[in-house]
Homo-oligomer: A and B are copies of this chain.
Amino acid sequence: MITTGFHALLLATADHGKIVLALFIVLVAAKLAAELFERIRQPAVVGEILAGILIGPSVLNLVQPTDVLDALAEIGVIFLLFTVGLETRPSDIFKVGRTATIVAVLGVVVPFLAGWGLLTLWPGHSWIEAVFMGAAMVATSVGITARVLSGMGLITAKASRVIIAAAVIDDVIGLLVLAVVSSLARGSINYLHIGLIAAVAIGFTLLVVLFGSRVVNRVKQPVKDLKIDHSLLIFALVLCFGLAAVASLIGIAGIVGAFLAGLALSEATDGTKLHQQSQTLTEFTTPFFLVTIGMKLNLSIFLSSGVVMLSAVVIVLAIVTKFIGCGLGAAGMGRKRAIQVGVGMIPRGEVGIVVAQIGVAMAAIGEQVYGVVLAMAVITTLAAPPFIKLAFAGERAAIQPEGYDAEFQDEIR
């Protein structure tokens, strides 16, 4: 007895109903998978990404990628890096700055050469495809590693700090590589333009790292004196999205801006509720980030045996070269920590995907290479967490800053 009137009613409420239903499905699937993986002593992150593959278009097709889910995923990874920034002291970054720079540089050079070399030797690919392949293998996606380490209570360990600092530097270098590659695709290199990007990106990062804390300390009291409720939280959100927007506009990933915002706030907000509030926002939004990664993997490209073979080689190279490059960069920290840094830098995630999208937009790479890059991004992300858990096994969780996860969790229970 579904009549026209009822049908119209359903249609009008369907838009909202559909979104709420999608959120519900994503949350349930992600958290059921996370619980299952925790019980079999595997990283919850892997479970949530696999849940995305399962409910996405490739398998059950319960939920499809939409603008709304993409936006929630973006908000999720922004809050994730913001929270990581909050738990990091700027002085911690300075202390590991030299090591992190070497890790970042070697972690860019070795994978680039490998990706470029592979497609130069592999039959059927142009030289420009080879260059884009190299560029896509460059940038580490630190969100996954950060999630695994903060789940283990190890986000403030020394190797963790090197990983996070190196990932920020790595992102800036990745941007320059992309600028060079894009210039090559057009047939010439514009040094002025590349120099300009480099100056803006490096300048922005240094500015926030060096002066962010001081500015926050100065405006802290006026912010607290505002009449609106939760004014410190509001200020933090504005800073987080503001710096993320600036980072996006000058071409660095938005998450770098969010991380820098958290870093600027970290010392001034010790002992406030901001750390718990930021974790709550992260807890709600991160599943959308993880599930969306899984949802975008198109399993059907693996029907071609040529693609499967190329993907397999690319994935192995992506893992091995990043591990070796970054591990060598951290060799001075001793073998155990060098290994921790090496595995922590493995996940590529969304940054490689953006490079591939630009390659497609410039008609520099074909659909197959695009599919291979996507598979590389998802599978390095899936493969890293077990290695990270293994490499960090036996490390004792550091004494947590006030208001941090473990204590918080105890109070809830």
* Chain A positions near chain B (C-beta within 8 angstroms): 1, 3-6, 8-17, 19-21, 23-24, 27-28, 31, 34-35, 38-39, 44, 66-68, 70-72, 74-75, 78, 151, 178-179, 181-183, 185-186, 190, 192-193, 196-197, 224, 226-230, 232-234, 237-238, 241-242, 244-245, 248-249, 251, 253-254, 272-274, 276-277, 279-281, 283-284, 354, 357-358, 361-362, 405, 408-409, 411-413
Q: How far is the CA of A279 from the CA of B229 in the complex (A)?
A: 11
Copies of this protein in the complex = 2
| Contact (Cβ within 8 A) B412 A8 | no
Among B75, B227, B411, the residue within 8 A (CB) of A39 is B227
Known interface pairs A21-B249, A228-B44, A411-B273. Does A4 touch B362 (Cβ–Cβ under 8 Å)?
yes
Among B151, B186, B284, the residue within 8 A (CB) of A229 is B151
Majority SS at the chain A contact face: helix
Q: How far is the CA of A67 from the CA of B71 in the complex (A)?
A: 10
Q: How far is the CA of A254 from the CA of B230 in the complex (A)?
A: 27
Known interface pairs A1-B192, A183-B5, A192-B1. Does A24 touch B238 (Cβ–Cβ under 8 Å)?
yes
Q: How far is the CA of A97 from the CA of B322 in the complex (A)?
A: 65
| Contact (Cβ within 8 A) B283 A234 | yes
Q: How far is the CA of A71 from the CA of B288 in the complex (A)?
A: 14
Within the complex, the shortest CB–CB distance from A248 to chain B, in Å, comes to 3
Q: Give the 4 A-B residue pairs with the shortest CB-CB distance, closest first.
A: A5-B182, A17-B248, A38-B227, A24-B241
What chain B residues lie within 8 Å of A244 (beta carbons)?
Answer: 20, 24
Instruction: Give me 9 A-to-B residue pairs in the complex whose CB atoms sit less than 8 angstroms apart, sorted by A's number.
Output: A3-B190, A5-B185, A5-B190, A9-B358, A13-B254, A16-B248, A28-B242, A230-B412, A276-B276
Known interface pairs A13-B248, A78-B20, A186-B4. Does A272 touch B412 (Cβ–Cβ under 8 Å)?
yes
What chain B residues lie within 8 Å of A237 (beta carbons)?
Answer: 27, 284
Q: How far is the CA of A50 from the CA of B12 in the complex (A)?
A: 26
Known interface pairs A20-B254, A357-B12. Does A6 touch B228 (Cβ–Cβ under 8 Å)?
no
